[in-house]
Each structure stands twice: as C-alpha cells, then as structure tokens.
Structure 1
Amino acid sequence: MKEMTTNPKTKDPGQAAIIYCRVSTTRQKLEGGGLDSQEHRCRQYAQDRGYTVEAVFPDDTSGGGDFMKRPGMVALLAFLDAQKDRSFVVIFDDPKRFARDTEFHIKLRREFAERRATIECLNFNFEDTPEGRFIETIIAAQGQLEREQNKRQVIQKMKARVEKGYSVFHPPIGYRYQRDRIHGKILVRDEPVASIVAEALEGFADGRFRSQAEVKRFLESKPAFPKGKTTGEVTLTKILEMLQRPTYAGYVEAPKWGVSLRRGHHEPLISLDMHERIQEILKGKARGPTRADTHEDFPLRGFVLCNECGEPMTACWSKGRSKHYAYYLCDTRDCSQKRKSIPRAKIEDGARDILRAMQPSPGLFNTARAMFRDAWELHLAEGRETQKRLEDELKATQAKLDSVLDLIVEAGNASTVAAFEQKIEKLEREKNVLTEKIQSAQPARGRLNEFIEPLLGFLLNPWNIYKNGGLHLKRVVLKLAFAQPLRYDRNEGYRTAEISFPFKVLDGALNHSRHSESGLVGGDGLEPPTHSV
C-alpha cells in the first residue's frame, strides 16, 4: 500500500487546494452547520496558510458510509484524476465530513494517497505514525458508531409513529404533510391531485380503466398531475406503486419493521374494500384489454351493434382527397355488411334522436321523485339489515382471531408460529374490511338529495348529460339508459331500442310498445326515424 499523505501543518504559499463540504440533510444545508459555513471556515484556513483554493466540492447527502454514493466526492476524485501531474491539498472541517464508516474511511484515504493528494482537517491533525493512524481509526469507528446509533434511534421513532397509525415515509402522490395541533405531522389531501388519483384508483377497480396502461393515459391527460421531469410521462412503475399502496385506503404499514397493516389517522381517497379489489385484479383477475382506438371521436364505438351479425361496430377515420372522413362500420368476418362504411353523423344523429325522446312529462317526473324517496327509505332499512349481518361476521372473525392467538401461545416451533402469524395478519385484514363496510353500510339520511337529485336530473334529460359529458360520461349514460346495446341496420337505421328499467317504470308499463301520453318510450323501446343510405 502506498504511504498515506498527511497534514504537516506547515505553510506552503502557492499550494493548490480543494475544499470538500458535506451535510447529510437539506435541513443541515440551510442551518448554521451548513455548506456555506463549512466553506467559509475552510477558506479562512487556506488563506492563513497561503493556499490557493481552486475548487469547492459540496455534498448534501450522506451516501451512507460509501463515499462513492456522494456526487461531490466522486466529482472531486475525477478532478484529481484529470490533473495527475499536480498535487493538491484537500481541506475539510471535521473528520465526520470525511467518512463515518471505518472501512470506507481507510479506502478513501487510500484513494487520495494514490492521487498524491494531501488531506488537512480544521479539527484534527492526521499523522503518519502508528499512534496517529490508531487514533484516526478510533475516530472513524466512533463516527460509524454515532451514525448507526442515530439511524437506529430514527427508525425506532418512525416505527412507533407507524404503530400508532401515522405515515412517516415520503408522501404518496395526492397527499402532503401538514402540521396538526393534535396529531403532529399528518398526511392531508393535496388537491387537485388527490381527486385525480382517487378517480384513477376507482376507475381501475370498477373496470373503467381495464389496464395499467389506461390509468397511465388518464393521468397523463390531467395537466395538474405531476409527470416525469425529463420525459413528461407517468411511468408504469409509478402506476403500479400507486395501485398497491394501502395509504390511499387510509391505512399504514411498515413490513420491513414488522408493523402490520392498521388504520391510519389520515383521510382515505378510496375504501379498503376497493383497495382489496384492486389487489385481486393485480394478482391476475382476467380482464380483456380495451381497444386502442376508443376515442372521443367515436363515443358509440362498441355500443352500437351491426344488425346483420349482432357484433359491435368499429370506427375509423378515412382520408379523402382534401380532408378526413369519420365512419362507423362492421368488421366481422363473413358478415354481409363487412367493411361497408356508414357516415358517423348518421350513427350519432340517430342515437341523439333516441336519447332526446327519452324525457318524461313534469307530472311523471314528480311521481318519480316520490318513488325514489320511498326507495331511499327501503334502502335505509336494507342498510340496517346489512349492518347487522356484517357485525355478526365481524364477531365471528374476532372469535377466529382469538382462537389463533391461543394456538400461537402453545406453538412449539418457529415454522408453526410463522404460519399462525400469517393467519393472524389475514384475519386482521378481514377485520379492517368488515369494520369499514359496517361504517358505510347505512348511508346518512341527510345524503338523500346528494344521491337522488343527480339521478333525477339524468332521467329528466339524458341527452343533455350525454351531449355535455366527456367520453367516459357518454358511455355511462348509454349503459344507464339502455338495457341492451343499440342495433343499427345500414339500410333502415336503428332498430327498436331496449330502454333500461327506470325509464320503463316512468312510463308505467313494463311490456308496452307504444308511446304513452307522457311522451316517454314504452316498455319495448323507441323506434327512431330511419336513415336510408
């Protein structure tokens, strides 16, 4: 090994010097022991000895014990490598800035020695003697001990916070930390991103987004959602992380510290039941991929069927001499209508006529309002029954949990205990889901208008909602308004539309094919004006 070069503590006017400064956190960077104050002290030291400072290399990260994880130190070594014919003095203000790990301290000393660099410290005199190297090793070991003790203390405090139901990690997208008088540092919703994340998670759980790629496209379409700084995209890795995080369901956990899933104090974006459905989907619950050409340009694509073969029509743009033209068409093999284009306007104007006709009279609308209020009371009664059933399930789950806890006390080997612990974790998760379902089983009476008024608005004028909504809302309107997809004949236009149950109820006749006095379609549906080709 090469002889380690040390600090002679003698003046050497004109000696080239480099300053190295380091803090472990952003907070230290901004406070009195930060980078600026370290640099100031090192410059004074260099000035007193007549050194010429040629460069300053700062670091604001600890890099653990490994100096090669510190960008500033890596750049410093590269600087020395680029000027091998010169000798430098590397100045830092304390041995702890050099390395807080015995092994890496020795390695770093060797790196400087191989580059003919001398190290000088404001608070310590490095000596190339057996006694000096011994003291140096002791100081490095002491630094390592302090670092590991600090790390252990921080982990213990963070673990205790998680055990009490608080998140201690970097806030997930859609949350931010806020100081609270009672809870201290707690996660709160970060709008409008929180609502965007909630919509993405709900959409994946209920099938609106049938793949992670669709969630990605949805999030990238929202200007407020944070994108990658360089690519402007949202990575699939980030999507998967969001879908898997129980934080969004209002829960916290820290498996690496042995802290199992538990209810957190922060506000959830989705229910735990919805989070569990997402996990089932991620584990392999089959879903067919959504067509790549589903687009705002063709909202009826997939909902309108070819009357000849009964298969969903596709849609496309076709290039003409001077512009592009939009068409719907059947693309089913062996169908007589295969690839015979139908102008988009004919398909969509016909659907508009059907939806605009589905409007009840004011008298019938008021009757519907009363019907829904009666249905709401029935819903409340059903909610009470559901709540009682869930409470019984919760008691049974707790009994199973108590039984397993009794068995684990009597278990004699580690493998049996581990199996019981997995069972306990599963039962605890079931308890959390049941508890949440009990709390939401019976809606508050005050929420009557919150649920009913939007529904009545839809029944009063479905076309208005369809016309003003985006692609997703348009498709929701179609699913709610019609019991079956619409069928279209290229020569005769739309066939009889099978309207959904609420519109049949409003008409007062479930098996009626003629127009009623209210002007609403009868039970068998509406026959719109045909469109000849």
Structure 2
Amino acid sequence: MVLQRMQTETETTALIYCRVSTTQQKTQGSGLESQEHRCRQYAENKGYHVEMVFPDDASGGGDFMNRPGMRAMLAYLDAQKGKPYTIVFDDLKRMARDTEFHFKLRREFAERGATIECLNFNFENSAEGKFIETVIAAQGELEREQNRRQVKQKMIARVEKGYWVFHAPVGLKYATDRVHGKFLVPDEPIAEYLREALNGYADGRFRSQAEVQRYLESCAKFPKDLPNGKIRAWKITKILRNPLYAGYVQAKLWDVPLRRGHHEALISFATHERILHNLDAGARPAARKDYNPDFPLRGHVLCSSCGKAMTGAWSKGCRRHYAYYRCVTRGCSLQSKSVPRAKLEDAFEDVLKSLQPTTQLFGLIKAMFKDAWDKRLEQTHAEQDRWRVELKAVNGKIEDLLDRIVEARSDSVISAYESRIEKLEREKIRLAEKAGAPLPNEARFEECIELSLKVLSRPWEIYKNGSYAVRQTVLRLVFSKPLTYSHEGVYGTVETTLPFKVLGGINNEKCEMVL
C-alpha cells in the first residue's frame, strides 16, 4: 500500500498541446483529434497522467502568444505554480514555426518549471542537440514563410484574373463552378435587399446613409450586427463603397487595380459611380426618422405665411384625440394655428384628382411616349459611337502615361502618373460599360410605358390605396415642389413634374386627337 502511494506521488503529470493552422482544418479534418490520440498513446506508454489538453486552431503567425490555447496553457501553469508538468507535443513544428519564438517559448516553460517532450524529436542539452533543434526550428520558419509567399502569390494571381479571394461580403457568397472554381454568387434574398438599397441611394430615393441603414434594418432577413437589431453606420458606408457589388474586384494592398470580375453584379458600374459621387458630395437631408403614417403630407405642405413645412400631430380633446396640421415656426403669424387633418387632406385630394388626365388623352400620350422612345434610341446609338471614340482616346492616354512612368526618375512624378492612370482606368470602365450596354427592345418599351401610364392615369388611386412609402413616392413623382396651403383652405400654385406639366398643357389647349 505504501509502495502504491509512493508510485502515485511520483507519477509524472502531463499536459498535451495540439494545433492546426486554420479553423477549416479543425472542422473539416481530423488534425486535432489525431494529434491528441498520438500524444495520449505516448503519455500512456511513458506512464504519464494526462491532466489537461489545450487545442489551437490558429497559426499565430509564428508568435505563440497569438494563440488562445497556448495562452491558456501558460495561464494554467501559472495557476498551478510549483507543480511540475511535462508538456507533450506531437511535432516540434507545433510549438512555434519561428526560431525566435521557439526559444522564447522554451524559456517560458523553463521559468514555470515545465519540461517539454516531443513525439518526433528528442530534446538534448548538448551543443549538438541545441544545434539540431535550432536547425529544425529554422526549417519550420522557412517553410512557414515559403507557404505564406506561395499563398499570397496565388491569391494575387487569382485577383488579377478577376476573382475575389477574401471573405465574401454581405449579400454575396461563395459557390463552386466547373469553369470558375470557387467564386462569388448572389446570396438571395439579401442580395435583393442590397440591390434596392444601392440603387435607391444612387437615384436619390434614399437621400442619406441613415435612410439606407433604416431600410436594411427593416428587412427581417438582412443580417444585423448589434443585439438590438441595428447595423453599425460604418458598415453601411463600407457596403456603399464596395465595388464588388458592381461586379469589379481590386486589391489595393497588392497593387492590383480595379478590374472586371467573373461574378454577377448587383448594380451597374455607373450606379456605383453615382453612389461614390453622392458620398463624396457630402450629407443630404434625411427623411424624418419619426415618420407617422397618420400624416402623409407632413413635410410636403408649406405654410402660406412663412413658407416653412407644416407638421402634423394628434391633439387630445375632452373625449378623444383629434388630428391637426400646424405651422410651428417661431415668429410666424400662423404659428400653432391648427388645421384639421380632414380639411387639409380633402383639399389635397381635389388637387391630385385634377391632375388625372382624361381617357381621351391616352392615345396621344402613348404616341408621344413612342416618339420620345424612338428619338432617345437614335440618340443612344449616336452616344455609343461617341463613347467608343472616347474609350479609344482614354486607352491612348493610359499608354502615354505608362511610357512616361518608364522614363520618369522622380518618385513624386511617378506617383502623380499612377494616380492619373487610376482615374483613367475608372473612366475606361465606365465608358466600356456604356458603349457595350445592350439597347432596349420593343418589349422593354411596352413594359416601361405600362408602368408610366399607370402612374400618370391614376395618381390619386395609387396614393389613396398605397402604403406610407408608396404615398411618399407618388408625392415625389407628381410634385416638383411642396404645396403651399393657406388657412382659408386653398392651395397655392401647384408645381408639378414635367410629365404632368405636359399633360396639363395638352388638356388646357383642348387638343383634338385622331384615334
């Protein structure tokens, strides 16, 4: 019994450390399990008692302190101060594939009274043993640097060929294809939300990044990054500036300029350029965050006295609440004088109904649209020829600047040339996209005319039956400026958009049509 207790007291206690370089190797392979299995067999054959196993799935770039498992093991040794341990590694390269950090880790273990053993290497304190250990550690560092270089070279070549090689951004995901291999494809329905957000910001439907943010936050399936269902503002900016959504790839850190990618674009490059222009132009006034569907005309109707936008709110009476529009501008003669919502909106109904053209005009309207379509088509043909000429001129400028870079000796001059070439490359992409864009056919005309006639023929019906967002869209499509309302119940001169102005002019002149 005494002998058994003495054997137990002298039994060596071991800690096992296992490491693979990536999480993918951990989830899709069996590297950690096989390392642990071999280390446990080694410890069993040696008669060691395995107390803990510390796994890692990160390379750490050679620095062992960048690995959570290694930091946890060193902290465990500190917590068990004074207790001798033997650290078991499957292979010497699992310690640190960097000569400096290899011996630094040796010192860390020595300071904690721990010894190390390796299945594939016998540590010796002799000069020859230290030399061999140094050589093997240096070889591990060499292999790591060579692998890093090879991976980087392959990634650069992949980007140069038009493929994205980094983490897929939101709205895109990786798929495998027989021709392209691993490449990006739209991740629906998130991609559809992004199309709406990007196009909306480009054409002004979303007037600020805050509106884009609120729209994406309202999409139930769009990924949120905060527990309260919100999206960080900097992520919206990153989405808006990302050329991947326009079908282009680049790697500035590797000096790979913008180029056409093989993945499907969510928006055109021209749309991407408009987005960048809107971002660089500065902030635009955003729609109210506290919008109220009970008052759809708030912000679209001005006070006749001060010309400022009227607001709307509910007022509490003795028995129930009442809806009013009012001007709240300080110093206005009509400040806080309320107008019943029904009175103001009934008068607006009359205005919108008066803009609805008669059915007799629609034959002429369609003919006008067809004539305008044909003229625009002819103009587009001419513009495409002009864009091809401009594209050729841009290519000539780029070649000229490249020749100048070869002859230049000043770094500042070379940098200026490179900056100019980068701008010309973006101009080249824009012109190439325009020059190569397919022209719309007759079916496209019928589709567009149907949507246009629907808005022109029934603005009031669309407004009355639409949601708050639809109503706001109708107001922007019909009226070029906000309406002015007086407390006598009369709207001032109505400023409409061009299509309704044309229809109004035709209607006032009582033009006769040949049907």
TM-score, L = length of structure 2 = 0.90
Q: CA deviation at 1:152?
A: 0.7
Q: Which residue in 2 is equivalent to 1:492?
A: 489
Please name the residue that 2:167 is paired with.
Answer: 170
Change (3 A) 1:328 1:131: farther
Matched AA of 2:215: F
Q: CA deviation at 1:12?
A: 9.2
| Structure 1 counterpart of 2:199, from 178, 198, 202 | 202
Identical counterparts, % of pairs:
58
Q: What SS class does the counterpart of residue 392 from structure 1 fall into? A: helix
Partner of 1:3: none
Moved more, 116-125 or 157-166: 116-125
* Contact persistence 1:13–1:50 (CA under 8 A): no
C-alpha distance in structure 2 between counterparts of 1:141 and 1:296, whole Å: 70
Are 1:426 and 2:423 counterparts? yes
CA distance in 1, matches of 2:292, 2:207: 15
Higher mean alpha-carbon deviation, 192-201 vs 121-130, is at: 121-130
The 10-residue stretch of structure 1 (473-482 or 282-291) with the greater mean CA deviation from structure 2? 282-291
Matched, 1:342 2:359: no
Deviation at 1:168, TM superposition (A): 1.0
DSSP-derived class of the 1:252 partner? strand
- For residues 136 and 227 of structure 2, what CA distance do their matches in structure 1 show? 43
Give the one of 33, 48, 52 matched to 1:51. Answer: 48
Q: Which moved more, 1:27-36 or 1:113-122?
A: 27-36
User: Following superposition of structure 1 onto structure 2, how do residues 39-438 of structure 1 map, counting pairs within 5 Å?
Assistant: 39-228=36-225, 230-285=227-282, 287-318=284-315, 326-438=323-435
**Partner SS, residue 509 of structure 1:** helix
Cα distance in 1 for residues equivalent to 2:215 and 2:405:
47
Structure 1 344/139 Cα, relative in aligned 2: closer, same or farther at 3 Å? farther
- Aligned amino acid, residue 238 of structure 1: K
Question: Residue 222 of structure 1: CA displacement?
Answer: 1.1
Q: CA deviation at 1:481?
A: 1.5
TM-score (norm 1): 0.87
Separation (CA, whole Å) in 1 of partners of 2:391 and 2:194: 30
Q: Distance in 2 between matches of 1:231 and 1:92?
A: 44
Q: Matched residues in 2 for 1:416 and 1:206: separation?
A: 38
Instruction: Indicate if the aligned counterparts of 1:302 and 1:313 stay in contact, CA closer than 8 A.
Output: yes
C-alpha separation in 2, matches of 1:46 and 1:191:
51
Gaps of 5+ in 1: 1-10, 519-533
Secondary structure of the residue aligned to 2:432 is helix
Question: More helix by proportion, 1 or 2?
Answer: 2
Distance 1:326 1:410, change over 3 A: same
Deviation at 1:272, TM superposition (A): 1.8
Letter paired with 2:239 = M
Mapped to 2, the partners of 1:123 and 1:327 lie a distance apart of 84
Matches of 2:132 and 2:324, distance apart in 1: 84
Q: Which residue of 1 aligns with 2:19?
A: 22
Deviation per CA, 1:331-363, whole angstroms, max 9, x where unpaired?
223211112233444434443444345444444
Give the superposition deviation at 1:150.
0.7
Q: Report the Cα distance in structure 1 between the residues aligned to 2:228 and 2:121, rounded to whole angstroms.
A: 47
Rate the CA distance shift 1:146–1:250 in 2: closer, same or farther, 3 A: same
**1:295 shift after superposition:** 4.5
**461, 466, 474: which one pairs with 1:464?**
461
Seen in structure 2, the aligned counterparts of structure 1 residues 144 and 354 have a Cα distance that, compared at 3 Å, is: same
CA–CA distance in structure 1, aligned partners of residues 33 and 50 of structure 2: 15
Q: CA deviation at 1:170?
A: 0.9
Q: Which amino acid aligns with 2:365?
A: A
- Give the conservation status (yes or no) of the 8 Å contact 1:387–1:441: no
